[in-house]
Chains A and B, each alone.
Chain A
Amino acid sequence: MNQPSCLEVRGVSKTFVEEGRRVHALDNISFAARPGEFLTIIGPSGSGKSTLFNLITGLAQPDSGEIVLECGAVRRRVGRAGYMPQRDLLLPWRTVLNNVILGPELDGRSRREARQRARELLPLFGLDGFENAFPDTLSGGMRQRAALLRTFLTDRDVLLLDEPFGALDALTRRELQRWLLDVWQQFRKTILFITHDVEEAVYLADRVLVFSARPGRIVKELVIDLPRPRQSLSRLAPDLRRLEGDLLSALEMGNGS
């Protein structure tokens, strides 16, 4: 119960002012993630989910409230979480191998060791044999896996994944969801995962945070008590449908208010 949390968000609000108009993006968000927990965040588009990630990574500052990262107060937050934005944003002029070692490279660690480690992980990430390929020659699913490997190799305890599978076709997405759970269990990372897909939110998570429409508030916190390792989606169907029902009604409530 008294486990330290690796990420804690306390009463965070954020308002943007653009061309004289005020956009209230986040309103009094509070939650904490336990080490190794898989949290998914779901909410209508524009509810400030990506903004929350920008605040956690330190790219932007909250108007009020505070964010504690890495099991203890850290003054300089930038670079403390592994961040994977909605677009894969691989460097087009780098090969897959040189893309995925970006994190260690920016930290000033040895590139050779980083490459060594990356090579060992390529098969797990389904990128075996593609280390010298340029990103634009890869399929969407492979690019996404490369971006994920880059995020894992940053060696951060907390990973922020912003709709990583949003742009993929349903089949590839399901395959990658199961694979992500495997990888997560091997690496024991704390993951915050944004999605707009109800099924995905439930299937992956220990806990789902439901955001309301703008301004984003947490309208519901749903604990997913399905056993792990999770079976395939079809086997889980009845349980999933029940939880999805709960989620959908929470989403509708959040939209209505």
Chain B
Amino acid sequence: MRLPGQSSRSMLPILSDLARVIMLALVAGGMFTFFAAGSLQLYQEARAVENLTFARVIPAPAEIVDAWHDHHDLLLEEHIPETLWETLAGLSMAVALGVSIAALMDFSRLLRWLIYPLLVVSQTIPIFAIAILLILIFGFGSGPKITVVVLFCFFPITLSTFSGLQTADPELLSLLRAMGASSRQIWFKARLPAAMPSFFAGLRIAATYSVVGAIFGEYVTAQRGLGVFLKRSYSSFRLDQAYLAILLTALLSMLLVLLVNLIERLALRWYYTTRRKSWRGPGIY
């Protein structure tokens, strides 16, 4: 029988998380070096031959590193914070919106019938069109970009939270009613907690979309952000900078997903102590 509250146990998952990130970094680093060395060679050979397009399309890794050296002040002080702010603000609002809509759909069958088609339609409209509209309406600030992030992110959160709310054990709900619980108490003490694992699954998907959403919004029009940096790079044919922006986007998305995983494991200790012997969690990274 395990004794509760052994702190070494609860620290383990975070440590093993770290170990996994280090592993991943090593593997990624190895692959990167391999391909970097290969493409460096290719690049230099291609340089010798005039008019070989891919030499212009694929920058050498060293050039990407140079681009970072040239621009990291600007990136770290302006573009990344802006993108990060839009992402986090949008994701938080998507959580609030998604959970609220899920609660409404859970609350009444009529609302479910009304909301569900709207939800689906909202996902079939090209976000591109909406983004331009939003900017026309709200101007160039970060508001429209945050809205684009919300549009990208709220759908998976809504659906997963909604299905999570439906998973609560009906016998458990009966027990609570027999104990004299009000519907409100039943919702907050049983249905909502039961929905949490499912909610986090949706949040993880949303987190992967969110950075891309922000960059997409910035790309349409903005003054700051990785999306602007990317756009400017393209319009001045600075592909080294464009690749740098793409790499940074991927990195940000990955860090965000890792953050969500970490929060999930801290918030759902009960779920991971029982369902899985090790806290391997969602199985990614």
Interface set of A (CB-CB < 8 Å, partner B): 54, 57-59, 78-81, 83, 85, 87, 89, 91-95, 102-103, 105-107, 129-134, 136-137, 139, 154
From A54, A59, A95, contact of B4 by CB (8 A): A95
Given contacts A91-B189, A134-B273, A137-B2, contact A59 B179 (CB under 8 A): no
Top 10 nearest A-B pairs (CB, nearest first) are A79-B180, A136-B274, A133-B4, A57-B178, A132-B4, A93-B270, A83-B178, A134-B270, A93-B193, A106-B181
**B1 adjacent to chain A (CB < 8 Å):** yes
Q: Interface-forming stretch among B14-22, B41-49, B167-175, B202-210?
A: B167-175
Not counting A131-B4, A132-B5, a sample of 5 additional A-B residue pairs whose C-beta atoms are within 8 angstroms of each other reads: A58-B178, A85-B174, A91-B189, A92-B271, A154-B179
B169, A89: Cβ atoms closer than 8 Å:
yes
Q: How far is the CA of A58 from the CA of B175 in the complex (A)?
A: 11
Given contacts A89-B175, A91-B190, A106-B181, contact A130 B273 (CB under 8 A): no
Q: How far is the CA of A137 from the CA of B180 in the complex (A)?
A: 28
CB distance from B94 to the nearest CB of A (A): 24
Interface residues of B in 1-32 (CB under 8 A from A): 1-5
**B232 adjacent to chain A (CB < 8 Å):** no
Given contacts A87-B171, A129-B3, A137-B4, contact A79 B274 (CB under 8 A): no
Interface residues of B in 173-220 (CB under 8 A from A): 174-181, 185, 189-190, 193-194, 196
B174, A59: Cβ atoms closer than 8 Å:
yes
Closest to A151 in B: B179
**B72 adjacent to chain A (CB < 8 Å):** no
Q: How far is the CA of A131 from the CA of B175 in the complex (A)?
A: 22
Interface set of B (CB-CB < 8 Å, partner A): 1-5, 169, 171-172, 174-181, 185, 189-190, 193-194, 196, 268-271, 273-274
Q: Which residues in A have their C-beta under 8 angstroms from that of B270?
A: 92-94, 134, 136
Q: How far is the CA of A93 from the CA of B174 in the complex (A)?
A: 18
Closest to B194 in A: A93
CB distance from A254 to the nearest CB of B (A): 27
From B4, B177, B274, contact of A78 by CB (8 A): B177
Number of A-B contacts (CB under 8 A): 77
Q: Which residues in B have their C-beta under 8 angstroms from that of A54?
A: 174, 178
Q: Which residues in A have their C-beta under 8 angstroms from that of B194?
A: 93
Q: Which residues in A have their C-beta under 8 angstroms from that of B193?
A: 91, 93
Most chain A C-beta atoms within 10 Å of own C-beta, residue among B179, B194, B270: B179
A-B contact pairs, 14 of them (CB 8 A): A57-B178, A78-B178, A81-B178, A87-B171, A91-B172, A103-B179, A105-B189, A129-B3, A132-B5, A133-B3, A134-B274, A136-B273, A136-B274, A139-B1
Closest to A102 in B: B179
Closest to A132 in B: B4
A79, B273: Cβ atoms closer than 8 Å:
no
Q: Which residues in B have their C-beta under 8 angstroms from that of A95?
A: 4
Q: Which residues in B have their C-beta under 8 angstroms from that of A87?
A: 171
Q: How far is the CA of A139 from the CA of B1 in the complex (A)?
A: 8
Given contacts A95-B4, A134-B273, contact A106 B176 (CB under 8 A): yes
From A80, A83, A93, contact of B175 by CB (8 A): A83
Q: How far is the CA of A85 from the CA of B178 in the complex (A)?
A: 10
Q: Which residues in A have their C-beta under 8 angstroms from that of B273?
A: 134, 136-137
Q: How far is the CA of A130 from the CA of B4 in the complex (A)?
A: 6
Most chain A C-beta atoms within 10 Å of own C-beta, residue among B171, B181, B193, B268: B181
Most chain B C-beta atoms within 10 Å of own C-beta, residue among A105, A106, A131: A106
Q: How far is the CA of A80 from the CA of B185 in the complex (A)?
A: 17
Q: How far is the CA of A95 from the CA of B270 in the complex (A)?
A: 8
Q: Which residues in B have their C-beta under 8 angstroms from that of A89?
A: 169, 171-172, 175
Q: How far is the CA of A83 from the CA of B175 in the complex (A)?
A: 7
B177, A59: Cβ atoms closer than 8 Å:
yes
CB distance from B192 to the nearest CB of A (A): 10
CB distance from B144 to the nearest CB of A (A): 38
Q: How far is the CA of A83 from the CA of B174 in the complex (A)?
A: 10
Q: Which residues in A have their C-beta under 8 angstroms from that of B185?
A: 106
Q: Which residues in B have their C-beta under 8 angstroms from that of A58?
A: 178
B178, A59: Cβ atoms closer than 8 Å:
yes
Q: How far is the CA of A105 from the CA of B182 in the complex (A)?
A: 12
CB distance from A192 to the nearest CB of B (A): 14
Q: How far is the CA of A188 from the CA of B171 in the complex (A)?
A: 28
Closest to A95 in B: B4
Q: Which residues in B have their C-beta under 8 angstroms from that of A57?
A: 178
A85, B3: Cβ atoms closer than 8 Å:
no
Q: Which residues in A have their C-beta under 8 angstroms from that of B268?
A: 93
B180, A78: Cβ atoms closer than 8 Å:
yes
